[in-house]
Homo-oligomer: A and B are copies of this chain.
Amino acid sequence: MTQVLNARRGKITDQMWSVSRQEGIPAETIREGIAQGLIVIPFNKAHPGLKPCGIGLGMSTKVNANLGTSSVFPEWTHEVEKMEAALSAGADAVMDLSTGGEIPSCRQHLLENCPVPIGTVPIYEAAVRTRSQGQLVVEMEPDELFRVIEEQAAAGVDFITVHCGVTRSIVEKLRHQPRLMGIVSRGGAMMAGWILHRQQENPLYAQYDRLLEICKLYDVTLSLGDGMRPGCLADATDRVQLEELMILGDLVRLAREAGVQVMVEGPGHVPFDQIEANVKLQKRLCHGAPFYVLGPLVTDIAAGYDHIASAIGGTLAAIAGADFLCYVTPSEHLGLPTAADVRDGVIASRIAAHAADIVKGLPGALARDLAMAEARRDLDWDKQMTLALDPARARQIRQERNPMLQDVCSMCGEFCAIDLVSRCFSKAGSGE
């Protein structure tokens, strides 16, 4: 029995109660949001030690960290370290995008140690298996793909990205109406290549009901991937992107009818002034489904600092209604991230999520900023460090840059504005 089917029957599950407590929102509101498909709780009962996490309307904005092996870095132990970095930086979810080494082992180790929902992109493992059998990725057997999906669901994966909207007709359109960067989604590219090679319809679209059956059985949340997401500003909000989005909207309805939790993924590289339109279109065309965006990056030239380009776009996207931000790390476009990159990526996205939650007026969002402002006014450094988004980093900088212990800091020293004003105003106030 999935969360959504329970919700529709009026039942508030343990997971809904837990999300209600975390968010400071009545459980009945959570239940109703889930029943309507406006909120999801990715929660696979086979994932040990999982803490429920609500994503969607009225929830605080959540942050996902991607990690996973690649053929150049196949060692899963590094990915467990990255997961720990992501969790300690405050990630709300983790995706295992492994394409190298022992993929099931990596996933298993992550699942056993991860209290937040774990997502995957099953076509990656199917592609690796296909290659290991000496075939090209585009020769993948649909049954192999569904086998991987079922195995991952049985193993405890909480949400899966599936590129169901990359249809034959869209791939044809893309051939005749090219865009600057074509397809940059890995899963989308695999699916498009398969379609062109086999001259058949996308099996995740053609056999969508088969996919829904698996998801319903394990209560795996569908994350409908945007295979046509723009890979550069010039391709943003173009025809193929919107055509795919419309198909995803149809697939949202079908998933809801089947009692499957579903969210929708979105771009990507988007100029700042097109971000709000992208979110509004997704919310309208996909019937209010939770929106999971990658970035968006507001420029293409920030290689080495794409976590910043992404935090800029992510703030506006979340304010406009996006519910779930996929982080981008400083090594995006350059190579596989390190654990330090993972940390930087999560923190940047958390800044975006928090800045947006303040504007969304979510319960408790501004309270931490108010407490920080009071600690600053009082020059209470311990409290400032505790309230910082990343206390360890804040403490480290304070220690390094302040060789002499002092009430003020080494930027202003004795010319500290706060110190000066508090002395002058209290003197003036006391009539001295």
Contacts from A to B (Cβ < 8 Å): 70-73, 99-100, 124, 127, 131, 137-138, 175, 180-186, 188-190, 192-193, 196-197, 231-235, 271-273, 298-305, 307-309, 311-312, 315-316, 319, 330-338, 347-348, 351-352, 354-356, 358-359, 366, 368-370, 372-374, 376-377, 384-385, 387-390, 393-394, 396-398, 400-404, 406, 409-418, 420-425, 427-429
Contacts and interface: CB of A to CB of B under 8 A. Distances in A.
A410 B308 contact: no
Point out which of A197, A347, A358, A396 has the most chain B C-beta atoms below 10 A from its C-beta: A358
B352 A417 contact: no
A319 B275 CA distance: 13
A73 B333 CA distance: 38
Given A73-B410, A181-B377, A335-B409, A232 B308 contact: no
B233 A358 contact: yes
A372 B423 CA distance: 54
B301 A420 contact: no
Contacts of A305: 347-348, 351, 389-390, 393
B301 A421 contact: no
Point out which of A334, A351, A406 has the most chain B C-beta atoms below 10 A from its C-beta: A334
Given A232-B369, A300-B372, A372-B232, A355 B312 contact: yes
A319 B272 contact: yes
B388 A304 contact: yes
B335 A398 contact: yes
Contact of A397 (B71, B308, B330): B330
Contacts of A423: 193
Contacts of A355: 271-272, 298-299, 309, 312
By DSSP majority rule, is chain A's interface helix, strand, loop, or mixed? helix
Contact of A233 (B131, B183, B300, B366): B366
Nearest to A196: B428
Contact of A348 (B73, B300, B308, B389): B308
Contacts of A369: 232-234, 299-301
B182 A418 contact: yes
A334 B401 contact: yes
A388 to B, nearest CB: 4
B420 A190 contact: yes
Given A127-B415, A300-B373, A410-B72, A189 B335 contact: no
A253 B193 CA distance: 64
Given A233-B358, A393-B305, A421-B192, A298 B315 contact: yes
20 contacts: A72-B406, A73-B410, A99-B412, A137-B420, A186-B412, A231-B376, A234-B369, A272-B316, A272-B359, A273-B359, A301-B354, A303-B397, A304-B390, A305-B389, A305-B390, A316-B316, A331-B401, A334-B397, A334-B411, A335-B401
A243 to B, nearest CB: 17
Nearest to A72: B410
Contacts of A376: 181, 231-232, 300, 333
